[in-house]
Chains A and B, each alone.
Chain A
């Protein structure tokens, strides 16, 4: 399989598919909703299938960058077309593929200006795919901006509630992050003086200690904002709550991972000296993320806010893994990116489905729904269990690896973070109990269980949670192959 893949530019095809869909959509009349949806679905399915093939054909024994495509673009200032994937990238590309197919399926009910909706959604995904493959920092930044900007319109137009405020807040926040990132990237560019944005060159350069200590926080914070690092997380609950279902799924599922990915694969990888200096401080913030997020989730009444705060808490685990600086914790952290991405996609998808039926997201207004929608309840419960780290589902593997790894570096901090598992169990089970258990109310008589499309959406997502939770051996090998060089760099004095 790998030989066939190496004969054509598979990476470009994967990220171009959504873009092609956008172009095709231009030629489809507004009113033909069905054609719009089917076009979007078929193009994104190609990306999805290719991302699975890519994941399976990546040779983790060899490691390093594979499927590289490298062409000169603007050589005078070192901008090149340089795409490639390592173990972290293939995992996250796979995640993006899963989420976009599920997201398109979850938007099957969008009837308000669907053409524009899908165009923006797919543009966003193009950007996300691009970020996870680009190894020229200029290209990286370009894709990064493509991924962030459509969010504004998607929330502002198709959102609910206080959508203008949320959209503005989110966009401004992320743009501030981008400004930091741009500053950081330019810093790297000029510090080397090699006149290139190519990652492999920048990575080999030895930056002075002082430079690293100044520029690491700039890059890390820039990405950290998108990863919901406390106290820069408040854009996320508001943004999630206002966004339409598919956007929440993509947003929490993939966009937040862009941030975490940048923190790890750009900031820490390029500036390990700065990382070693600053990460112990960041570790303290991640404790706040984890514990504060899970306590905050408990007090919320709106389902989307609950899930959003739980995302803050789970992203804390990703960041905790990064701060721990050893290969076990880093692997756990990357796997948590994947696991949380799929899980939160499920969560937001389910919330959307429940909301579409009950027309409320306030948990206190629902009760006993399991009777009327057993399938949705079962999926919801399984997702909840994944989120509280139940063995057999992917969340457990990710969390336990992160904790095992981070215990070596920060024992006390880890112990505090582990309390998060108790709090998480409490708020998850409480929400489940209120919504699905208890006395059934007759006002829900007209509600129906998941339909076929919804069922398929949920099934795709759940499949990956269960399969990687039961047998994490393969994916962990893939991830570990990419994490080792970073861990080695951190080990060097």
Chain B
């Protein structure tokens, strides 16, 4: 099948980052988690802190993240990743500690821990993957589900009079004094992915400078639970999620 002559003298300009293992992920085709994992791995490689980093995995689709990242990782109880990361960072302030959480983990069951850790200004990074649904359990309505969005528990679309409105986590946390860097990015196209990597890098730099809490919200497609093809999912994200969840940096201090 491969007809290309491989004897050409060519430089490898893009390859798998060292901070990712060789494992194939269990994610569905077109899932945004893979891109988010890769961006974190590239940032860790570029900053040269792969051996000095500890990640805290969530409960959700990315619960098996420790199989895919070539770094030390802990597994936290559902929603408690910021609390576990707080303890780890306070015990070992020399290490870089980050949480990787989905919207069901961070914005639903773990909202208390999230707000408390942000308000305390814990020196941790939080990567928050928002796909507007509960992915692992089969696409139920999440706190971040858009008004009108159909899920398995909102078959007529989310009704704001009964279920309220989606939580804008990045805006909400940016009014606190503890966080030093809050941004929202998307992994729906190459342009947004490049900006997402810059934001994730800044978040880790905030921690390296010992400034305080940083959070990057990553808008991510979920083709399976949105019942779309991967191409339709990235288009749906850009047409429906970007107007409600505007991209950008909401709080920047020190970097």
Please determine whether chains A and B interact with each other in the same assembly: no
